[in-house]
A = this chain, B = another copy of it.
Amino acid sequence: MGMLVERLRTRGWRMTPQRRVVAEVLEGRHGHLTAEEVHALARERLPEVSLATVYNTLNELAVMGEVLAVSASEGPKRYDTNVSEPHQHLVCVRCQALVDVHPVGQDTLGLPDAERHGYELLDVEVVFKGLCAECRTAEPERAPKA
Contact = CB atoms under 8 A, between A and B. Distances in A.
Given A101-B117, A116-B130, A124-B127, 13 more contacts: A90-B111, A90-B117, A104-B108, A104-B110, A104-B111, A118-B133, A119-B128, A119-B133, A120-B136, A122-B130, A122-B131, A125-B125, A125-B126
A125 B93 CA distance: 12
A9 interface: no
Given A104-B115, A111-B101, A117-B99, A125 B127 contact: yes
Interface string A13-47: 00000000000000000000000000000000000
Interface residues of A, number: 37
A129 interface: yes
20 contacts: A90-B115, A90-B116, A90-B119, A92-B119, A99-B117, A101-B115, A102-B115, A104-B111, A104-B112, A105-B110, A117-B132, A119-B132, A121-B128, A121-B129, A122-B129, A123-B128, A124-B127, A124-B129, A125-B125, A126-B127
* In the complex, the 8 A-B pairs of residues with the closest C-beta atoms, listed nearest first: A118-B133, A105-B108, A119-B130, A123-B129, A71-B73, A108-B108, A101-B115, A121-B130
Nearest to A121: B130
A107 interface: yes
Contacts of A105: 105, 107-110
Contacts of A90: 111, 115-117, 119, 121
